[in-house]
Chains A and B, each alone.
Chain A
């Protein structure tokens, strides 16, 4: 079996290499404008955009199919990304807010729900979906190209990259897009780490854990997933890591522990023999107890009865071990914490110790000339990148997908499919501008349409919703109109003009962001939600926020932005109060406060007026309100009917012309319509 597939792979890669270059020998070389490294979700997403804009690109994949990470992971084969296929809505953009697995494309049916109807789908479905995506969109993927070395090189004065695969074929790439994901299991060095099994290789059959005491290092989703799978078989499961459990439903970060996997919290809190412990990983040691030492007889007895020949593992602390030589084969009772503290939590031995500490970026394939630095956050597991996802100090190399999560680690969804599909789209727009001089797409809107456009975005946009606090809509004010740019990376706002190709004017700009609130209250406690729009800034749940700047914020402004803010302190800010239904469309709580904020920023009256009011205002003021100028005076006034005018008059908002009763006017309209087919010659002048 194994041999067969290896042979097949070789043949396949040879065929591919052959067809790609027309050369069979070693040291073959191909060049592409864009090389995408890895055919996972991020790589394919970028492939789609490159193919749509008809760029010269190639996606290089070492395995035989796309998304191979998902062939192995998650080990217990249940995806925890939500696949909510029924939302009660038919709005395709809105529905993407609740579809965490699909990639973006212009094919309305190329969605994950075609593959699976499960809320938490089987992991096998994801590579299947990706294959469908590749096939239906005809993406250029080269499988079996295992890039082992990447080095930087000078291409006509620009830095490019040369990639070499296992067959010695080299790829010259003007732009390298690294979407290799995270493959290398994260390890911590401590004494006895060789006695520990890794998440990547543990058996997934719970029977293998029957009646075993298991210590799991880590408290993330993989740790809990493992725990959950063996919960019914293991005798005791302890989870050990430095930080306490962070619950995704409390932190709003989907990388924290999802409720899907958290049954162990139940068995812990109900004292059913499982538990969580905090402590540093670097300080521990996993040891086997020395059989010769201590009380031989009892020790022998116990080891015989408990397990079949397998020796048990103890957790101890390095400081308790003999300082000389660190000989962990000679551990006695005195080297264990229980000897010193009789009620030490982890004093009982374990049958297995499992490491579930996540994954890191594979830096090793990068030559010194092309290696991006390690990120400052995320324990250095990720490459350091700029606000526009370019490797730090690595021009023309962009990092996409999970590997690009250092920008919003523990903050937003950039490390997950439902988040990075949007950052990939943003990066693609930046590429188009930088290498092809195609400016970031902008919709030109008259100012009178701005409010309804913002409401539209707020109520349906999925990129803002998923990539909260990271991507934001930019509205460049230009006087009587504005340019609306969707989903720009917020941290790159100081470089807006260069990255987007949109010129700046001195009219200022608005930024629309979705964000969670201060989160200072109990997530499920009273007072967790705000409903008063005047207190909207205290909203805890995801809600839209608008920032208004006179001038573009600088890098310095951005660095010194208020703690926890996605953007620097603006001239003025508007929070739209959180909504239980996430529908921000109510006239009093949402629309009117938004309109008044815009009025303040634009220093103009944005109210709507019926044609009759505009008629009056056009004849009695030299500059009527904006709505009349951009609607009525362009012959597009909103006429209304007597019923509506009556309401407006009763509210005291529309002038009443000395008791001239409007129903009279109304009958004339309905009569007019009644006579629609009769030849009535009217004395009225209907000229337009």
Chain B
């Protein structure tokens, strides 16, 4: 009966508009009003034009509405009572003010508060400023959530445009329920995405109820239920009632006698009959169903053993639609019931879903793969393969033995990835055109399938490097212009470079030797052995061959090699790494191991300890599996950024970041970094920004507080706080499964519909080879007839006579 009252109250909020409650103040009454401390919304005007006239009408209507919230709506005629500060100045006529006592809470342009809904929503929003939280980003919402956990539930309203009826409905609800629930208002599409709205661009208002009060652990997320009806006062009220109603109600009555709140709210009710033996199982089923149907259907469990339950045993469930009788049915699966409700009984939704589906199917012919689509858009482009030799079965063998290096691309014309790569391949070929000893060639495997099979190419595109008298080398790098180009140029360098004196070693490490390759890679790796007879030398040489095109390696097997590790904690054989000229070398001891192990060792020591992450190098660093300490730097290399880099470098050298991968992204060179920040935090804060992302171990992203200076000690403290759980995460990395991006186009279902028996398995007794019997039946023998007369034209025997 409390409900009835509430409904009446809410109705009164919207419908009671009998007589005008708009007060006109004189300067005297205005002064008195200033002393009462009450809230009032006041408009000061001095004359009336058509615009103002419309506004006055709306103001009058709002007076009725706002009265219920104890807010007076007042107009002051400045031409009669010139009130200081308000009746003067340019803003006169175009502004309205919200007062609490004599204090101005907020002023509004009358363009903002253009009608009754806008007035009520804006005024209430200002009044409820402390109660209703306004959030922009998922991170902010998460903060509200974690504060509310185990404390109160949250109502989140997404209002695309302020001042519309939906906004008013939300504010009115906040006014009524503000003490009970934490209200949150948002306008940002980022939050929409976070809440799982598929199409955030539509300007639809949304409301969710987050069950935060009941979460058992603070780390659990609050289950959120969207309101599926239009945002208006009645619907919000009903929805909140439904959220409050128990998830599952128990009863020992016949369905028609059970009284649950859902019946009064015009919501269907689902009844499940429970048996004593299966009570627990039934209860679990009811819970699952109730969770899935929450907000749309009420769930009641009826214990069959109750004396008042008369329902026939052949049914195990029933439902009752509003204003209808109970209908009984047999439940086979929980999914079946959900389907029944979602697709059939909740008619409105069915309609919406269908519309969505239709849109999907009409999109079926649109390519949704970025590589395919971009290649498809080039379909009228003739590829200029001039600089690439197209190989055939006849020319393949000769070509690959003719040049120092023949690079061969194996591709399919109809494979989008191949065709996207071939553009890069041509770019490389153009850049290398005229260079002696290097030739780029391609094999179309759609035509020369035998070549591709003979070379065991099973993955497309594949790039193989052929050298005379050597096995083909598989190119394992990024399939892009830059990487391939660098690889080919580096492949021309003999690897390892045999160094014969300390002077040469110096020249090698400082980049004077191979100086023209400096721009390809500044890193030089040197193997130091005491003599050429060292067992490790052959292994090192083999490793160097395997690393051809990737790393420039030098070999110094000489008695002077000892000098280079003198004073270092390492004995020969050793590995010396020069990252770039002028930078101190790093030294590693070289265990005797197989060439492939050596390759991975060299690859590992080559990695930068504080790398700039780029699209091309990220996989090498992600492989390490460490949490990232990621610094985002803006386009302009500001001093702040430089300082931040230096601070982290300092921490790095002191060894305090060993469990992390400290790295940075330059948003100028790697613009996609901006999208990463957005995904992490929901927005892009001022740069530089330091973020900790535990990709492999957790889902949380932590943001170094922007207000704190990016200093080594602050960073250490922050890391410490994060590890101790004292920092709130600023964002989440979803562990979303990459399922099929579009619904399945089910041929079987279509067959079943259009040709029901076509795709059905046969009944057990039918036999396959029924042909013979069939034929005998059809083509009756001459002696079956009274007058034997084999028809010369079996298909149209009757037409025969007309010839």
Contacts and interface: CB of A to CB of B under 8 A. Distances in A.
Answer whether A and B are interacting partners.
yes
Interface of A: 89-94, 108, 240, 242-244, 271, 275-280, 283, 317, 319-320, 337, 340-341, 343-346, 376-377, 379, 410, 443-446, 449, 452-453, 455-456, 459-460, 518, 534, 536-537, 557, 559-563, 565, 568-570, 572-575, 585-588, 591-593, 595-597, 599-600, 603-605, 607-613, 615-616, 618-626, 632-641, 643-648, 650-651, 653-655, 657-658, 660, 665, 669, 672-682, 684-688
B699 A622 contact: yes
The prevalent SS among residues of B at the interface is loop
B737 interface: yes
Q: Please provide the 7 A-B residue pairs with the shortest distance between their CB atoms, ordered closest to farther.
A: A639-B480, A585-B414, A647-B374, A605-B738, A599-B740, A660-B671, A279-B790
Interface in B743-769: 744-748, 750-751, 757-764, 766, 768-769
Nearest to A278: B794
Nearest to B783: A319
Contacts of A570: 748
Interface stretch (B54-62, B441-449, B649-657): B441-449
B458 A445 contact: yes
Contacts of B762: 559-563
B306 interface: no
B674 A658 contact: yes
B106 interface: no
Contacts of A673: 427-428, 431, 481, 485
B619 A632 contact: yes
Contacts of B486: 686
Q: What is the size category of the interface that chain B forms with chain A?
A: 35 or more
B431 A622 contact: no
Given A557-B761, A648-B370, A607 B741 contact: yes
Given A455-B415, A604-B740, A688-B620, 10 more contacts: A91-B447, A283-B783, A345-B789, A445-B459, A588-B376, A599-B741, A620-B733, A638-B421, A669-B427, A672-B485
B612 interface: yes
The residue among A271, A587, A633 with the most chain B CB atoms within 10 A of its own CB is: A587
Interface stretch (B260-268, B343-351, B603-611): B603-611
Given A572-B748, A653-B369, A317 B788 contact: yes
Contacts of A588: 365, 367, 376
Interface in B359-373: 364-365, 367-373
A621 B378 CA distance: 31
A688 B477 contact: yes
B798 to A, nearest CB: 15
Nearest to A445: B458
A456 B410 CA distance: 13
13 contacts: A94-B449, A276-B792, A452-B415, A557-B761, A559-B768, A563-B762, A570-B748, A621-B736, A636-B477, A641-B423, A655-B672, A658-B674, A688-B617
Contacts, number: 391
Contacts of B748: 569-570, 572-573
Nearest to A632: B619
Contacts of B447: 89-91
A647 to B, nearest CB: 4
B747 A620 contact: no
Contacts of A657: 671-675
Contact of B371 (A279, A561, A640): A640
Contacts of A319: 783, 788
A320 B783 CA distance: 10
A249 B699 CA distance: 62
Contacts of A277: 790-792
B446 A639 contact: no
Interface string B436-464: 00000000011111100000001110000
The residue among A93, A456, A638, A687 with the most chain B CB atoms within 10 A of its own CB is: A687
Contacts of A650: 377
Contact of A682 (B368, B369, B519): B519
A635 B739 contact: no
Contacts of B519: 675, 678-682
B359 to A, nearest CB: 15
A592 B369 contact: yes
B643 interface: no
Interface stretch (B138-146, B282-290, B774-782): B774-782
A587 B367 contact: yes
Contacts of A452: 412, 415, 417, 460
A575 to B, nearest CB: 6
B413 A585 contact: yes
A687 B413 contact: no
A640 B744 contact: no
A619 B611 contact: no
B252 interface: no
B669 interface: yes
B795 interface: yes
B764 A560 contact: yes
Nearest to B377: A647
Contacts of B747: 536-537, 572-575
Given A460-B449, A557-B761, A640-B480, A592 B779 contact: no
B790 A608 contact: no
Contact of A561 (B415, B608, B761): B761
B803 interface: yes
A600 B518 CA distance: 49
Nearest to A686: B521
Contact of A621 (B371, B478, B735, B782): B735
A676 B431 contact: yes
A103 B352 CA distance: 60
A644 B460 contact: no
Nearest to A546: B747
Contacts of A619: 618, 628, 676, 693, 695
B417 A91 contact: no
B745 A648 contact: no
B251 interface: no
Contact of B478 (A320, A587, A622, A637): A637
Nearest to A319: B783
Contact of B619 (A559, A599, A637): A637
Contacts of A669: 427, 481-482
B799 to A, nearest CB: 12
The residue among B371, B523, B620, B775 with the most chain A CB atoms within 10 A of its own CB is: B371
Contacts of B734: 621-622
B191 interface: no
B520 interface: yes
A294 B696 CA distance: 105
Contact of A459 (B375, B414, B760): B414
Nearest to B676: A619
Contact of A341 (B373, B612, B789): B789
Contacts of B421: 638, 640
A276 B489 CA distance: 76
Nearest to A592: B367
A559 B523 CA distance: 67
A657 B489 CA distance: 32
A279 B370 contact: no
Contact of A569 (B371, B417, B607, B759): B759
A243 B761 contact: no
Nearest to B668: A660
A635 B617 CA distance: 8
Contacts of A587: 367, 372, 375-376, 414, 416
B480 A611 contact: yes
Contact of B741 (A317, A444, A605, A640): A605
A49 to B, nearest CB: 17
A674 B803 CA distance: 83
A483 B376 CA distance: 30
Contact of B370 (A280, A518, A653): A653
B522 interface: yes
B717 interface: no
B166 interface: no
B592 to A, nearest CB: 26
Contacts of A680: 518-519
